[in-house]
């Protein structure tokens, strides 16, 4: 709806994972300024495919929340001739369906973490985009958790590396050591929350409910109330990643708040808190030597070997990012990933975790990405 309102074509595609989750993808097959072909023939034109994956507690709308006019990366890429696909992982607003389970009543539906997204969702959506577009490989743009699941898949699946021309990692998440964010305090809830989940089952966390629409209406009708909500929203979001509202477009604040949070599972948040506690990028820890042994062949949860990644990776990190902390970037990410490409933006000053999506200065990064894709395609890479 947001995409069509901006004047761009939008297709909805569904794909089912092997474990039954039905994921929705939004495709922008071409841009509004694309005059290379007219009518339906534009759909038959082979274009560079770009797959974009949102972060934690978000959905595909986060990529287009700033609207058109050079503010949102999907529109920029579509206008320059790319076939753009926006993914939605399980449990998010647009991917709550399942072949046998009801997300609203089934606790079993919510027994997943980002590990399952990496193993099931990401390859399913990438394969769907490649199949529909009749392409062999694509460009992957990930933000936050969207980078984490890509790193994990690339580290474990040599064939998947052949399908990724380049990974653009915005606010890259691997290890969660050295955090300044209060999110590190979640480690104290690890075992009590896991015990509760074991006893009562999986559960949903922070879904997009009617409260979001109510807040949006208030923002439109009451500036004073809107300021209070914005202040409270700022504090809540800072808890996760460090947010600075003055960095974003004030007129888009109702859009931001009406589409976030996008929901996830308690187990997913617990997996992140495990990473904070261990300081490692590792698989889900069952907190049982026997269960870990059954799942992984060892009594502890294994780490991902990021040195296995063969696809080229471009990394972008913000100096104010409390979730993808700059210290982690320099201490771990650059050391763990061998095949990274320096696009001459090793660190973005005065830049937080959400500037990559909503920032007034996001064009600095968007221009780098679009320029690289243009040059890469001109050289005939496939």
Active-site position among 34, 285, 321, 336: 321
pLDDT at 306: 94
Q: Strands, E, within the chain: which ranges? A: 11-16, 21-28, 49-53, 83-87, 97-98, 138-143, 164-170, 204-205, 264-265, 313-316, 340-341
Told to judge if 144 belongs to the known catalytic residues of this protein, a careful annotator would answer yes
pLDDT at 234: 43
Q: Strands, E, within 134-263: which ranges? A: 138-143, 164-170, 204-205
Nearest C-alpha neighbor of 192 from the set 273, 111, 264:
273
Helix or strand or coil: residue 331?
A: helix
Break the chain into its structural domains and give their ranges.
Answer: 2-35+47-378
pLDDT of 247 > 90? The answer is yes
Query: Do the Cβ atoms of 306 and 173 come closer than 8 Å?
Result: no
Q: Which residues contact 316 (CB under 8 A, 6 or more apart)?
A: 168, 169, 170, 171, 172, 343, 345, 348, 356, 365
Query: Do the Cβ atoms of 8 and 75 come closer than 8 Å?
Result: yes
Residue by residue, DSSP assigns 4-49 as HHTT---EEEEEE-TTSEEEEEEEE-S-TT--SS-GGGGGGS---E
Nearest C-alpha neighbor of 68 from the set 54, 59, 79, 83:
79
Active-site position among 124, 133, 144, 265: 144
100, β-bridge pairs: none
Q: What is the pLDDT of residues 90-116, one digit of tens each?
A: 999 999 999 999 999 999 999 999 999
Tokens representing residue 381 in the block: 């890479």
Q: What is the pLDDT of residues 57-95, one digit of tens each?
A: 899 999 999 999 999 999 999 999 999 999 999 999 999
Tokens representing residue 149 in the block: 């699941």
- Across the range 198-220, mean pLDDT stands at 57
Q: How far apart are CA 57 and CA 48, in angstroms?
A: 28
Please report how many Cα atoms fall inside a 13 Å half-sphere around the Cα of residue 307, on the Cβ side.
4
pLDDT of 132 > 80? The answer is yes
Q: Which residues contact 102 (CB under 8 A, 6 or more apart)?
A: 109
- What is the dihedral sign for C-alpha 272, 24, 142, 354? negative
Helix or strand or coil: residue 86?
A: strand
CATH number corresponding to 2-35+47-378: 3.40.50.1820
Q: How far apart are CA 26 and CA 94, in angstroms?
A: 10
**Residues 121, 313, 317, 376: what is their CA dihedral angle, to the nearest 10 degrees?**
-110
Q: What is the pLDDT of residues 11-57, one digit of tens each?
A: 999 999 999 999 999 999 999 987 555 555 555 678 999 999 999 98
Told to judge if 321 belongs to the known catalytic residues of this protein, a careful annotator would answer yes
Helix or strand or coil: residue 138?
A: strand
Q: What is the pLDDT of residues 311-369, one digit of tens each?
A: 999 999 999 988 888 887 777 787 788 777 755 455 688 999 999 999 999 999 999 99
Q: How far apart are CA 178 and CA 185, in angstroms?
A: 13
pLDDT at 225: 45
pLDDT at 231: 46
Q: What is the pLDDT of residues 136-188, one digit of tens each?
A: 999 999 999 999 999 999 999 999 999 999 999 999 999 887 776 656 666 66
Tokens representing residue 319 in the block: 């100096």
Distances (CA, A) of 312 to 40, 48, 154, 200, 372: 34, 16, 11, 43, 12
Told to judge if 244 belongs to the known catalytic residues of this protein, a careful annotator would answer no
């Amino acid at each position: 709806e947001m995409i069509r309102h901006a004047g761009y074509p939008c297709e909805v595609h569904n794909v089912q994972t092997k474990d039954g989750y039905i994921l929705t993808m939004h495709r922008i097959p071409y841009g509004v300024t694309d005059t290379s072909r007219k009518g339906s023939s534009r759909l038959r034109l082979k274009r560079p495919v770009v797959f974009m994956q949102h972060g934690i507690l978000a959905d595909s709308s986060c990529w287009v929340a700033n609207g058109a006019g050079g503010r949102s990366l999907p529109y920029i890429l579509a206008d320059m001739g790319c076939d753009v696909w926006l993914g939605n992982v399980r449990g998010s607003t647009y991917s709550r369906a399942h072949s046998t389970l009801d997300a609203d009543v089934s606790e079993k539906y919510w027994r997943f973490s980002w590990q399952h997204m990496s193993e099931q969702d990401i390859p399913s959506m990438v394969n769907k985009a490649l199949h529909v577009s009749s392409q062999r490989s694509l460009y992957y743009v990930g933000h936050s958790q969207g980078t984490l699941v890509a790193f994990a898949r690339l580290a474990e699946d040599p064939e998947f590396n052949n399908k990724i021309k380049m990974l653009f990692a915005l606010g890259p998440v691997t290890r969660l050591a050295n955090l300044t964010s209060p999110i590190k305090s979640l480690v104290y809830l690890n075992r009590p929350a896991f015990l509760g989940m074991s006893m009562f089952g999986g559960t949903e966390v922070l879904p997009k409910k009617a409260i979001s629409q109510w807040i949006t209406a208030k923002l439109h009708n009451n500036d004073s109330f809107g300021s209070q909500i914005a202040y409270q929203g700022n504090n809540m979001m800072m808890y996760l990643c460090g947010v600075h509202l003055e960095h974003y477009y004030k007129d888009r604040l109702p859009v931001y708040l009406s589409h976030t949070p996008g929901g996830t599972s308690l187990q997913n948040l617990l997996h992140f808190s495990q990473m904070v506690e261990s300081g490692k990028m590792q698989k889900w820890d069952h907190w049982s030597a026997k269960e870990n042994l059954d799942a992984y062949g060892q009594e502890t949860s294994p780490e991902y070997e990021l040195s296995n990644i063969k696809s080229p990776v471009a990394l972008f990190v913000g100096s104010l990012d409390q979730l993808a902390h700059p210290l982690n970037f320099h201490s771990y990410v650059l050391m763990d990933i061998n095949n990274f490409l320096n696009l001459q933006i090793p660190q973005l000053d005065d830049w937080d975790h959400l500037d990559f999506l909503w920032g007034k200065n996001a064009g600095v990064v968007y221009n780098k990405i679009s320029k690289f894709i243009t040059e890469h395609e001109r050289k005939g890479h496939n």
